[in-house]
Chain A
Amino acid sequence: MKTLNEQISEVIEREPVALFMKGTPQMVMCGNSQRALSALRAVGAPVTTVDILPDPRIRQELQAISGWPTIPQVFVKGELVGGADITEELFESGELQRKVDDALGAEREPDVRAVALELA
């Protein structure tokens, strides 16, 4: 089985837009995770979400990889965009739309899906 660190890194590298959040898109457990998710949805981004709540090690490993201390965390094409405040601010300025368009092209399927990490 892959380590948590490897699994998290794979999500960041492979998924066009990755959102590490508290809860799932169906049951969001934190207002800030909701703010980030709403901004990404509003720009028609395909979003792959990872719930960090099932195990505290997920958050620890994620923080070690990204160097970012809080949840949520948004990545576009492997690059950390930021947390809820930055994502929302970039959405309001139109920059989030541009960033997602530049990274993924205007033609895209705005799916939202949750992936679960395998816990040892």
Chain B
Amino acid sequence: MAAVDAEAIRELLERAFPEAEQVSVEDRTGTGDHFQVTVASASFDGLSLIDQHRRVNDALAEPLGDGSIHELRIRTKTKGRA
């Protein structure tokens, strides 16, 4: 499967979370298929952890679905939480 670069992942996340205080993407292995993403957004306030992660997964549905992301680690932060 085609690898995807961290910048493309970041763009997808920034489009899905325009209000986010932080969007960071780390290519963990340098191979364009193992990513650590962190999203800090007030829109997560009041959502359960699983619903926060669902929103991140939904934003990245395309690269997840076509197999270009092999591994995705997610860290979400609500506004009140570092």
Binding site for B on A (CB under 8 A): 32, 67-70, 80-86, 89-90
Contact = CB atoms under 8 A, between A and B. Distances in A.
Contacts of A69: 57, 61, 64-65
B79 interface: no
Size category of the binding interface on chain B:
10 to 19
A68 B57 contact: yes
A70 B71 CA distance: 8
A85 B75 contact: yes
Contact of A86 (B50, B61, B64): B50
Given A85-B73, A85-B74, A85-B75, A67 B49 contact: no
Contacts of A80: 50
Interface of A is mostly: mixed
B53 interface: yes
Contacts of B64: 69-70
B71 A89 contact: no
Interface string B41-56: 0000000011001100
Given A69-B64, A85-B73, A90 B57 contact: no
B72 interface: yes
A107 to B, nearest CB: 27
B65 A81 contact: no
A64 to B, nearest CB: 12
Q: Which 7 A-B pairs have the closest CB atoms?
A: A69-B64, A82-B50, A86-B49, A85-B74, A69-B57, A85-B73, A70-B72
A86 B54 contact: no
A86 B54 CA distance: 11
